[in-house]
Structures are given as C-alpha cells and as structure tokens.
Amino acid sequence: MGYAWKDSLGWHTTHPYPGPWIDGTSLKLDKHDYPHIGYAVYIDDYTSLVMYSYWDGNNWHTEVIDTMGRCYPRTVTLILDSNERPHLAYGRSDEPLRHAEYINGTWHIEVVDSSGCICPFLAIDKSGHLCIAYMGKYAVKEDTNWHIETIEPYRGGRNSLYFDRENNPHISYEGQGWLKYAWKCNGVWHIEKIDSIIPRGVLK
C-alpha cells in the first residue's frame, strides 16, 4: 500500500504497508494534515485483514483492526470525528456490516447490520451522528443504537454520502443497472435514475 503527496519539490511516495493485494483504501487528513488510511489486505484464500495506517509526524504506524474470511472487503471507509478519533466501516455480502472505533487505546468493533454489506460509505452528519450508506440502506447511530432505513432493496453498488445545509442526507449509488441519486426531505426518501450502467461483459 503506497501513499503519495506533492510539495514544492514535486511528488513523493512511501509505502506504509508493503504487502500485496491491497484494496478498499480510504484516506483522511487530521488537523496537522497527517494522513490516516483504512484498507483491506488479502492474505490467502482463507484470511483477509482490515487495517489502519497513520503518520504521526515522525513515523508510520500500522494496526490490524479485524480479521475476516476469504474475499476481502472491496471497500473500507474511514473518517475522523471531531476528537480526531478514527472510525471505519466495512463488510462483505456474506459478512455483517461492521463499525470499528478507536477509544482509549483500544479498537471497539460492533455489528451494524448482520444481513451483509457491499461498498459502505461512512460519514458524520452535522449533528455529529455516524451515518452509513450501503446496499440501498441508510444507518444512523443515535446514542448507542443504530437505526436502519431501507431506501430501496438491492444487493450491490458503490455509494457516496453527503449532507446539505439542513442536514438532509444525499446519496449517489449504483443499483439495478443504474447510477441513482437519493435524498431525504421532510422524512421521505426520493430516488432518481441518473444514467444506465453497462453490465460487465456487454461492452465489446
């Protein structure tokens, strides 16, 4: 896994984790502009790891967050909260959606949705709540509980989640052969089809 940055002298690269088969990377910068990276690592046919690397100004530090089975998560999404604590969301279609949080020197992992997950996107809304968009669903953590809404049922697709000035969620995602856009207003979800997506193998 490599990290590249540009300054007045040009581009520089380093490799916080030199292992092979890296996927699902997510990058955030802290208040010092130091990088924090969440990612998945394929170890062998039976083991994959969810990992976290960060730069403290002098050295890179790398931690194993969770161990999973074969077919590593294709997306690991990372955020830093207002206290600069890292949070990661990850999962697979045959594994629960999980949230990992770093508290007082220890990683705490919880299951958000046991029905499985593909390509989650983790964000913090303007009220400070953790929110995850995934597989046609939207999860919000209030106090200690996750509340899950189904926008529309489907199995795959990447997601992107942001909030407007009124703190309403807006999600772009791939679903049922379409690029779609969903947003919530006055408690109601609205969905629009933006563009068709050519299935794999159709384009010659």
What's the whole-model pTM score? 0.88
DSSP character for 70?
Answer: S
d(CA 42, CA 63): 15
Between CA 66 and CA 85, with CA 48 as vertex, the angle to 5 degrees is 30
Nearest to 202 by CA among 177, 171, 184: 177
- pLDDT tens digits for the chain (204 residues)? 788 988 899 999 988 887 767 777 899 999 999 999 999 888 877 788 899 999 999 999 999 999 887 666 667 899 999 999 999 999 877 788 999 999 888 999 999 999 878 789 999 999 999 999 998 899 999 888 999 999 987 766 788 999 999 999 999 988 778 889 999 999 899 999 998 876 554 443
Parallel, antiparallel, or unpaired: how do β-strands 76-80 and 60-68 relate?
A: unpaired
Tokens, residue 173: 């995602």
Can you name the residues that pair with 12 across neighbouring β-strands?
A: 5
